[in-house]
Amino acid sequence: MSDVRMSAHASRLEAPFPWAGLLALSMAAFLTILTEALPAGLLPAIGQGLGVSEAGAGQLVTVYAIGSLVAAIPLTTLTQGLRRRPLLMTAILGFLIANTVTALSTSYALTLVARFVAGVAAGLLWALAAGYAARMAPDHLKGRAIAVAMAGTPLALSLGVPAGTFLGSILGWRACFGLMSGLTLGLIVWVMAKVPDFPGEPAGQRRTLRGVLTLPGIRPVLGVVLTFVLAHNILYTYIAPYLGGAGMVERTDTVLLVFGLASLVSIWIVGVLIDSRLRALTLSSVALFALAAILFWLGRESPVAIYAASAIWGLAFGGCATLFQTASAKTAGPAADLAQSMLVTMWNTAIAGGGLAGGLLLESFGPASLAPSLLLLIAGAWVLTLGARRHGFPAR
């Protein structure tokens, strides 16, 4: 019997890495981020097209985030028993419908509804993605599989959103959403051909939300997500006012390009090392973010220091989604999807909180207060990561 088990284990180790299926998940992540972030670069045109102000057009981003925030945990809880690929296809179809309606709608109210649907689809997809990727790969490569599946996120932020904004200025914003619908149709065919199906959780093995939350290590992981991503979004949301205070507002696009390129390097490094160095990589990301915040604080009058800080910031942030989702998936085990839904909710809470906290800091203390305020949150992330030595971010 032991020979049979050893043979099965050896066959899993020798199984080919599922590149085609994982890249399909990465494409899904790419389209999700592009759908979320693209309106921010096209606000004037969208506002004019829908007959609303730029502030009104900005609510297309807000309702998307609300959809993700309110839907991730309930939908994941209710769908634990469903087969995984039909559920994934449902989320992708949500994007197809929402982006098609957005491209064709002349009604502001209808467009808001479509964006809310897109946010709901995003909440479901993010809850599924990491656990799905982990199930597709052998045990010793689960972290790398999640890294590949998440690679679409930094690609969308660093390349997809700028390219979409550029195309929008040439072809019009409606054509950009129509193009995303076309890409989604191609993704549907790709998923059907290359992404395997998996069963849902049997009724007797499904966990409750409270049961997953009390698993050792889950709460530290969620705490690190909240503090780290909150700090990131305070800076990312208000990078233009910060640079304005440094006399570099006209170089905002260049600073974000440096950040994006460094993020791509980070996701590659994390993908190579994550299965054997999860804890070390997480601590390194937190430490690098602290260094970037110090440079942004003390070097705010030096363009060289700001560019260096932007690169270090990108190295810190690029692989963090993979690190956090891998930590959550490994800690939760069979309950990975429900744990991921909590992570998605915490991430979106941090996004909303970053906009609120950063705005309060900006109005009360000015742009110079942004960078030093990050250090308090980063210190919290460091303490939580250090304390999760046995569960969450375990020592090797």
Is residue 11 over pLDDT 60? no
Q: Which DSSP symbol is given to 17?
A: P
Indicate the pLDDT class of residue 14, thresholds 50, 70 and 90. Answer: low
Q: For residue 271, give the nearest of 322, 221, 224 by alpha carbon.
A: 322
pTM summary value: 0.81
Q: Hunting for tokens 């909240």 — which residue is that? A: 226
Q: Which DSSP symbol is given to 330?
A: H
Lookup: tokens for 276: 């054997």
Q: In the CATH scheme, what is the code of domain 17-205?
A: 1.20.1250.20
Is residue 13 over pLDDT 60? no
Identical fold at 17-205 and 209-387? yes
Highest averaged pLDDT of the listed ranges 195-199, 206-210, 238-242, 337-341: 195-199
- The pLDDT tens digits for 263-296 are 889 988 998 899 889 999 999 999 999 999 999 9
- Which residues, at least 6 apart from 364, have a Cβ–Cβ distance to it below 8 Å? none
Residue % of the chain over a pLDDT of 70: 96
Q: For residue 339, give the nearest of 227, 230, 228, 219 by alpha carbon.
A: 219
Q: Would you kindly state where each structural domain of the chain is located, as residue ranges?
A: 17-205, 209-387
Is residue 7 over pLDDT 60? no
Q: For residue 190, give the nearest of 15, 19, 391, 379 by alpha carbon.
A: 19
Measure the CA–CA gap between 344 and 76, rounded to whole angstroms.
11
- The pLDDT tens digits for 308-334 are 999 999 999 989 988 998 999 889 988
Judge whether 317 and 266 are in contact, CB under 8 Å: yes
Pick the more confident residue, 168 or 106. 106
- The pLDDT tens digits for 95-106 are 999 999 999 999
The topology under which CATH files domain 209-387 is: Growth Hormone; Chain: A; (1.20.1250)
For the residues 79-99, what does the mean pLDDT come to? 95
Measure the CA–CA gap between 305 and 291, rounded to whole angstroms.
11
Is residue 194 over pLDDT 80? yes
Triad 17, 20, 22: Cα angle to 5°: 75
Residue-level pLDDT at 390:
92
Measure the CA–CA gap between 137 and 63, rounded to whole angstroms.
35
Residue % of the chain over a pLDDT of 90: 52
What does pLDDT average to over the chain?
89
Secondary structure (3-state) at 40: helix
What is the residue-wise DSSP string for 232-262?
HHHHHHTHHHHHHHTT-GGGHHHHHHHHHHH
- The pLDDT tens digits for 344-373 are 889 888 887 887 888 888 888 988 899 999
